[in-house]
Chains A and B, each alone.
Chain A
Amino acid sequence: KNQVEQSPQSLIILEGKNCTLQCNYTVSPFSNLRWYKQDTGRGPVSLTIMTFSENTKSNGRYTATLDADTKQSSLHITASQLSDSASYICVVSHTLTGTASKLTFGTGTRLQVTL
């Protein structure tokens, strides 16, 4: 069964600190992995995307890593800001046919950045 598990479920950190979110997946055949940021009451917004051959991808203060052998990914946030408070969802895409794909969503990590 295709699954995406994330940890921790929630996290509270002080502004300016770094944090790392984890994602484990059992999706096959693997196509790509994305991290989405979802603000409360909003739709998800893509932060990074990585294919099988990419093991790291940065987007500003966000750095994602991918280990396709162990089927693990992490999202590292550097120098956190209050605006980083959101849910971070790991999404794994598996190929159906041709360019068609299907997404499996994790349940997300709820991050709260405080003063």
Chain B
Amino acid sequence: DTGVSQDPRHKITKRGQNVTFRCDPISEHNRLYWYRQTLGQGPEFLTYFQNEAQLEKSRLLSDRFSAERPKGSFSTLEIQRTEQGDSAMYLCASSLVTSGLRETQYFGPGTRLLVL
């Protein structure tokens, strides 16, 4: 396990379709983050999990978005009824948070979504 992996790397879909992305974090990392990044911008926080618990959701995460991390390992991000404005790079990051250890988030390669 050399890093965070995401699947698929690219997704093209038609407006109104549902899409699901997967993120596999670094083994034993207890925290997992989802970000969205549009062209020319820095990543924007969407949500994060501590183990299997979803602890925070951004206002950017509309009710069409849902994220899960059922067993505290991999996570999925689903977008229902996609809109053209959902076109972006979706980044996943993971970290190990323990007492006294400075948190470092390691990013995956991202999933680039294009909604036609």
Chain B residues within 8 Å of A46, by CB: 104, 106
What is the interface size of chain B, counting residues whose CB is below 8 A from a CB of the partner? Answer: 25
Chief secondary structure at chain B's binding surface: loop
- Compute how far the CA of A32 lies from the CA of B101 in the bound complex, rounded to whole angstroms: 13
* 8 Å CB contact of B101 from A4, A36, A45, A99: A99
Chain A residues within 8 Å of B112, by CB: 41
A81 interface residue, CB < 8 Å from B? Answer: no
With A102-B45, A105-B42 in contact, do A44 and B107 touch (Cβ < 8 Å)? yes
Q: Tell whether, in the assembled complex, residue B100 and residue A44 are in contact, meaning their CB atoms are under 8 Å apart.
A: no
Interface residues on A, range: 20 to 34
With A41-B112, A44-B43, A106-B42 in contact, do A101 and B103 touch (Cβ < 8 Å)? yes
With A100-B97, A105-B44 in contact, do A42 and B104 touch (Cβ < 8 Å)? no
Best-surrounded residue of B4, B109, B112 (most CB of chain A within 10 A): B109
- Compute how far the CA of A108 lies from the CA of B44 in the bound complex, rounded to whole angstroms: 12
- Compute how far the CA of A45 lies from the CA of B107 in the bound complex, rounded to whole angstroms: 7
Contacting B at CB under 8 A, from A94-115, are: 98-103, 105-108, 110
| B interface residues with partner A (beta carbon < 8 Å) | 4, 40-45, 89, 91, 93, 97-110, 112
- Compute how far the CA of A42 lies from the CA of B6 in the bound complex, rounded to whole angstroms: 11
- Compute how far the CA of A106 lies from the CA of B99 in the bound complex, rounded to whole angstroms: 28
A60 interface residue, CB < 8 Å from B? Answer: no
- Compute how far the CA of A98 lies from the CA of B45 in the bound complex, rounded to whole angstroms: 20
Q: Tell whether, in the assembled complex, residue A107 and residue B102 are in contact, meaning their CB atoms are under 8 Å apart.
A: no
Can you name 29 A-B residue pairings with CB atoms under 8 Å? Answer: A32-B102, A36-B107, A41-B89, A41-B110, A42-B110, A43-B91, A43-B93, A43-B108, A43-B109, A43-B110, A44-B43, A44-B107, A45-B107, A46-B106, A49-B102, A49-B104, A51-B102, A89-B42, A99-B98, A99-B99, A99-B100, A105-B42, A105-B44, A106-B42, A107-B41, A107-B42, A108-B41, A108-B42, A110-B40
